[in-house]
Amino acid sequence: MTLTTERPTTAEPGLDAIAEAIAAAAPAPALAPEEEVKSRDLVLIWYSGDLEKTWASLILATTAAASGVNTKVFITFWGLQAFVKDEVRVTGETWMQKMLSLMQRPGMSHRKLSKMNFLGMGPWMMGVLAKKYGVAKPTELLEAAQALGVEFMPCQMTMDMFGLKREDMIDGLGEPVGAATVIDLLNNGASSLFI
């Protein structure tokens, strides 16, 4: 079958006039001139601690910041474990908090895949593939995100529940906040991503 852009010859003559009338009534929105590019806001809600989602969050956050978007990242639940210093092995005060950190090693370099982790075989293979295809590692992307001015806001509630202390966390994080801060940003027109 051949696709053609030619006007079908069977069209009724009146259609042209109708099309013109519609075009006149609803002109196509003109693209905003370059000077009118506004600074916009993005809130990325970083919920997951899984390697693949960590990667996606970092790629989107860095790209948003690189595109002139005022980018804030609210780090909550398992996401916070990625922002614990790599060298911190055990976090928390109570035995349960400590157990959680032992069961799932914190730190950006110790993320596990949600599927096909295979005792670290999966993440190792992801690392090899990333290197081969020039994909930046999560630690490199985090560095880029901080250099581009992405603002990281840890969730106060999760910090408390996991017993995470400020000194357990990497440098450059903002003050811990709660959900109301996120909702306020959304109410003020920020776009959002939940990962």
Partner 1 sequence: MDTLETMTEPEIGARVDARGLSCPMPIVKTAQAIKTVASGALVEVLATDPGSLKDFTAWCRSTGNELVEQAADGTVYRFVIRRK
Contact flag: residue 191 with partner 1 (CB under 8 A) = no
Q: Minimum distance between the CB of residue 167 and partner 1, rounded to whole angstroms?
A: 29
Query: Of 5-13, 102-110, 143-151, 159-167, which segment contacts partner 1 by CB under 8 A?
Result: 143-151
Shortest separation between residue 195's beta carbon and partner 1, angstroms: 15
Least distance (Å) from partner 1 to the CB of residue 65? Answer: 8
How many chain residues touch partner 1 (CB under 8 A)?
19
The verdict on 139 binding partner 1 (CB under 8 A) reads: no
Token digits of residue 150: 């992405």
178 binds partner 1 per the rule CB under 8 A:
no
Write out the two tokens for 60.
């989107």
Helix (H, G, I), strand (E, B) or coil at 49: coil
Euclidean distance between CA atoms 171 and 183, whole angstroms: 25
Q: Select from 48, 54, 57, 62 the one that contacts partner 1 (CB under 8 A).
A: 62
Closest Cα to residue 51, out of 112, 109, 132? 112
Told to check if 148 binds partner 1 by CB under 8 A, we report yes
Interatomic CA distance for residues 3 and 157, integer angstroms: 58
What are the distances in angstroms from CA 122 to CA 107, 155, 194? Answer: 17, 29, 24
Distance separating alpha carbons of residues 18 and 35, to the nearest angstrom: 35
Closest CA to 86 of 67, 108, 118: 108
**Which listed range, 43-51, 63-71, 77-85, 89-97, lies at the site for partner 1 (CB under 8 A)?**
63-71
**Is residue 15 part of the contact set for partner 1 (CB under 8 A)?**
no
Residues of this chain that interact with partner 1 (CB under 8 A) are 34-35, 37, 59, 62-63, 65-69, 133-136, 141, 144, 147-148
